[in-house]
Amino acid sequence: MPTQITRRALMKTGLALAGATAIGSAGWTPARAAGKLEIFSWWTSGGEAAALDALTSSYAQKFPGTEVVNATVAGGSGTNALPVLQARLAGGNPPDSWQGNTGTAFFNSYVDPGFVEDITDLYQSEGWVDKIPPAVLDLVRKDGHYYAVHVGAHRCNEVWFNKKLLAKNGIEIGDTLSFDQFFAAAEKLKKAGANALAVGDNGIWANQRMFENTFNGVLGYDQAQKLWRGELAFNAPEMKEAMKIHLRMLDFQNPDHSALSWDQAVGKVINGTSAFNMMGDWAYGEFVKAGAKDGVDFGWVSHPGTDDIFIIVTDCFPIAKEAPNAVEARNWLKTIGSAEAQLAFSLKKGAVAPRLDIDKSKLPPYLQWSYHKFATNKFTGSSVNGEQVPSSFMQASTDALTSFVVTKNVDRFADALKAAQDATKS
Amino acid sequence: MSIPESVGIPDHYKSFKFSARRSFFWDKLAPVLIISPVIVTTLTFVYVFILLTVLISLSDWSAVNLAGRFSTPLLKNYSQLFANPRFQMDLRNTVIFTVMFLAGSVGLGLVLALLVDRQIRGKGLFRTIFLFPYAISFIVTGVAWRWIFNPETGINQLFNVLGINSALGAAGLDPFKPGWLTDPTVWPPLNEALSKIFPAAARLQFDIGVPVALIAVAIAASWQLAGFAMATFLAGLATIPTHIREAAQIDNASGWTHFSKITWPMLAPFTLINLVILGHVSLKIFDLVYAMSGPGPGFATDVPGIFVFEITFRALKYGVGAAGSLVMLLMVAVVVVPYLIRNMREDA
């Protein structure tokens, strides 16, 4: 998710505030009637709330006697929600289950401090282990134990394009797009006076999203894994190659990129003032919201070089350790882990359902495509969203990129990333 | 000693003893009781927390490393802070922003005050209009100014509508189309010149000069706080005795002489108040910049406030963040403390 940089950062912020707020909440113990379930999330915007509603109504159908308390805290990206959640966890007054992102951040914030229940038995009794790709399970699994149920997975590495604008300029995009094909198209558009690449890096993560997609494409899956394991340096020649390609792409961006947010950049592709946008599939929601048609008005293709890679960001729900309503909470996880609930959620959220056995015929064209990718691609976490790296590296790399896009100094950028990589080892 | 009844003491003297006890409570105890919550909360939430910030800045402690102890070497966080090219740029930006913002807000405030201070119709209305921006949240105005300074859809459209660009085009010149907040240029390019004099300057990780994007931020901040400066100047203008003005009129002093010899010198204390108050606003500024441009292209509009926020809560380097906060506190103290000391002396 685009918002996850902040989500994650604020998750940690929450820890700091926890102490202060915990004093306030310690004396507050709401009465908990039997047959009650409290779900905590920050999904309050239109599509997100509808997606959460799809889950809670599935639950209400199966367990009509239980009152579902939907403890959403409004405020985009969990800015307000995460401090509240952390305070409740630290203060020993947890919700039964809550929305979380997976990977390193999930383990650091919830599993390692002992806030969540081990639900390995649920995975066995519900047969989830065989239904979900192992690499996805790894995002909530540690030493063979499971700690949360996935509800949706976003693919981060897509190139979105305006089909009509490209057709007008005689450009056709096939099933894949190479860097050379992209640059050829971009040159053609530039000559025709059209803006080729829409970028909205008012929040620099959007630029970082593009750069990560590009270096995954240049390195390929195996080399990129070496990078994350620390076996390949960030200032290796291949990385510098990726940096040069990134700079070349930026030559084709809109001049007001640093004044726009990511969704405004998607808007430029929707209204046909730009041809391409490089973004994860939360952009799909923007196209749908604007009434653009899958495959008619807009198209998509994997970021160059990454057709076999699924850069993944997922949402999940764990159960609190010693949850006030443990039975209801386990029923909740059983429900949201079911194929029907996951399908209903996916249609509303625009993310792929993690189960491989859902009814694909009901999916719109994009989700069918990304579902196929989900089943066949190799998974890798994202450093932009913090699934792959510690937060100190995230900030250092963001800062280095902010300077890089202005100074265009490849060597200095590479060395700064290398230094940030080394700092995480010590 | 007892007073005989026959002396005829007025009734209100009889209650003297009682009222003495009462006034001890009201005179001595009550003020202490009334004031003590403020004292306790101020001590706790200002001074104890400053002390904690000092301790954090010297330690490895953070919300994810609760076992962190004093760092070795003790000033490790400070050396990391000053070695960070982003923080170096922030210090540059703070200095340049403060100069531009003070010149803009105090200058504009003075002009507005002089305009409003005449016997004109509706001067109360204008005073309110000019003061009003000061009452709006920085976040709200920050967003509005971000739209205004968008190079594609903002004020640049106005230049097109006014025909400035077609006129320039007819004269064979490039259109006037500043990038405003999106312009990463730092002007003038001093680094090269400097490195000829000081070879060490070639190793600088940032450009010395005026970041162009910062000008737009300074314009927005000046607009917002000029009303405050105006109000202060109006109070100052009211203190200039009428007989001095009249004497100047009799001597047939020109407008400029009147201003430079009477108004400006007599406003000096108020100019100082404006510089101190607006100066510390400028050093601490966060919300306006955060809403308008964030760190900006190549950190052109980054300020220490944004850096401290991100390094603390995103990078989770609490120590470096605390060190940055203390550097900000010191900068503000340099501006405010001499002024406070002077005031205290005057009061005594």
Q: Which of B11-15, B16-20, B170-174 has the highest mean pLDDT?
A: B170-174
Give the pLDDT score at B101: 97
Q: Which residues of B82-112 are buried (b: 16+ CB within 10 A; e: fewer)?
A: eebbbbbbbbbbbebbbebbbebbbebbbeb
Cβ-proximal residues to B157 (8 Å cutoff; 6+ apart), any chain: none
Co-location of B128 and B177 in the same domain: yes
Q: Which residue has the tokens 């052109």?
A: B300
Helix (H, G, I), strand (E, B), or coil: what is residue A160? strand
- How far, rounded to the nearest angstrom, does the alpha carbon of residue B336 sit from its chain's CA centroid? 11
Q: Is the omega angle on the peptide bond into residue B73 within 30 degrees of 0, that is, cis?
A: yes
Same domain, yes or no: B82 and B197: yes
Q: What is the pLDDT of residues B199-242, one digit of tens each?
A: 777 667 788 889 999 999 999 999 999 999 999 999 999 999 98
Our CA dihedral for B94, B99, B100, B101, rounded to 10 degrees, sits at 80
CA atoms within 13 A on the CB side of A34: 0
Contact A257 B182 (CB under 8 A): yes
Check if B179 contacts A (Cβ < 8 Å): yes
Residues of B in contact with A208 (CB under 8 A): none
- Please tell me the predicted confidence (pLDDT) of residue B64: 61
Is there a single domain that holds both residue B122 and residue B182?
yes
CA–CA distances in Å: residue B40 to residues A350, B53, B55, B294: 53, 19, 21, 36
Are B51 and B178 members of one domain? Answer: no
Residues B171 and B304 in one domain: yes
Q: Is residue B119 part of a domain?
A: yes
Domain-embedded: residue B2: no
Q: Is residue B71 part of a domain?
A: no
Per-residue model confidence as pLDDT tens digits over B84-97:
999 999 999 999 99
The HSE-up count of residue B207 (CA atoms within 13 Å, CB side) is 18
Can you give the C-alpha Rg of chain B in angstroms? 28
CA distance B292 to chain A (A): 9
B81 with B51, same domain: the answer is no
B133 touches chain A (CB under 8 A): no
| Chain B residues with CB-CB distance to A394 below 8 A | 314-315
Write out pLDDT tens, residues B310-333. Answer: 888 777 788 999 999 999 999 999
Q: Does B345 touch chain A (CB under 8 A)?
A: no
Which pLDDT does position A28 carry in this prediction? 39
Tell me: the pLDDT tens digits for A2-43? 444 444 444 444 444 443 343 333 333 443 445 899 999 887
Chain A residues with CB under 8 Å of a chain B CB are: 5, 9-10, 12-13, 15-16, 18, 108, 202-204, 254-259, 391-392, 394-396, 398-399, 402-403, 405-407, 412
Residue B20 included in any domain: yes
Distance between B98 CA and the closest CA of chain A, angstroms: 23
* Cβ distance of B152 and A258 shorter than 8 Å: no
Q: What are phi and psi of A141, to 5 degrees?
A: -120, 140
Query: Are B175 and B273 part of one and the same domain?
Result: yes
Structural domain of residue B25, as residue ranges? 16-57
pLDDT in the model for residue A60: 92
Residues A53, A59, A64, A66, Cα dihedral to 10°? -90
CB atoms within 10 A of CB B241: 9
CATH assignment of the domain containing B212: 1.10.3720.10
With respect to residue B4, please indicate whether it lies within any of the assigned structural domains.
Answer: no
B93 and B124 belong to one structural domain: yes
The answer to whether residues A315 and A321 touch, using CB atoms and an 8 Å cutoff, is no
User: CB A16 to CB B85 under 8 A?
Assistant: no
Same domain for B29 and B155: no
Nearest-CA distance from A387 to chain B in Å? 14
Per-residue pLDDT of chain A (426 residues; tens, 9 = 90+): 444 444 444 444 444 444 334 333 333 344 344 589 999 988 776 677 888 999 999 999 999 889 999 888 765 455 557 667 877 887 788 999 999 888 877 887 788 888 999 999 999 999 999 999 998 999 999 999 999 999 999 999 999 999 999 999 999 999 999 999 999 999 999 999 999 999 998 888 899 999 999 999 999 999 999 998 889 999 999 999 999 999 999 999 998 898 888 888 999 999 999 999 999 888 888 888 888 998 899 999 999 999 999 999 888 999 999 899 999 999 999 999 999 999 999 888 878 999 989 888 888 899 999 999 999 999 998 887 667 777 778 888 989 999 999 999 999 999 999 999 898 776
Closest residue in B to A207 (Cα) is B297
pLDDT (average), residues B147-172: 87
As a whole-number percent, the residues of chain B with pLDDT over 90 amount to 52
Classify residue B11: in a domain, yes or no. no
pLDDT number for residue A381 = 84
Chosen from B61, B62, B64 to mutate, greatest number of chain A CBs within 10 A: B64
- Please check whether residue B209 touches A, CB under 8 A: no
pTM: 0.81
Q: Please report which helix (H) or strand (E) contains residue B271, including its range.
A: helix B268-284
- List residues bridging with A39 in a β-sheet: A70, A97
What is the pLDDT of chain B when averaged over all its residues?
A: 87
Q: How many domains does chain B have?
A: 2
| ipTM greater than 0.85 | no
**Are B253 and B312 in a shared domain?**
yes
Q: Tell me whether residues B313 and A406 touch, CB distance under 8 A.
A: no
Is the previous residue joined to B37 through a cis bond, with omega within 30 degrees of 0?
no
The pLDDT score that the predictor gives to residue A39 is 93
What are residue B70's DSSP bridge partners? B59
Give the separation between CA B56 and CA A19, rounded to whole angstroms. Answer: 16
Backbone conformation region of residue B95, classed left if phi is above 0, alpha if psi is from -120 to 50, else beta: alpha
* Type and span of the H or E element at B102: helix B85-116
Task: Kindly list the strands in the beta sheet with A36-41, ordered across the sheet, starting from the edge strand earlier in the chain.
Answer: A67-72, A36-41, A97-98
Cα torsion angle, B59, B61, B65, B69, sign: positive
Give domain status of residue B69, yes or no. no
Q: What are the C-alpha distances in Å from B188 to residues A423, B92, B112?
A: 35, 14, 32
Say how far apart CA B151 and CA A260 lie, in whole Å: 11
Compute the distance between CA of residue A273 and CA of residue A162 in angstroms, rounded to an integer: 9
Answer for the pair B143, A259: CB distance below 8 angstroms, yes or no: no
Q: Does B299 touch chain A (CB under 8 A)?
A: yes
Structural domain contains residue B10: no
Tell me, yes or no, whether B144 and B257 share the same domain: yes
Do B46 and B181 reside in the same domain of the chain?
no
Domains, chain A, with CATH or none: 4-153+315-377 (3.40.190.10), 158-310+382-425 (3.40.190.10)
Enter the tokens of residue B242. Answer: 């009428």
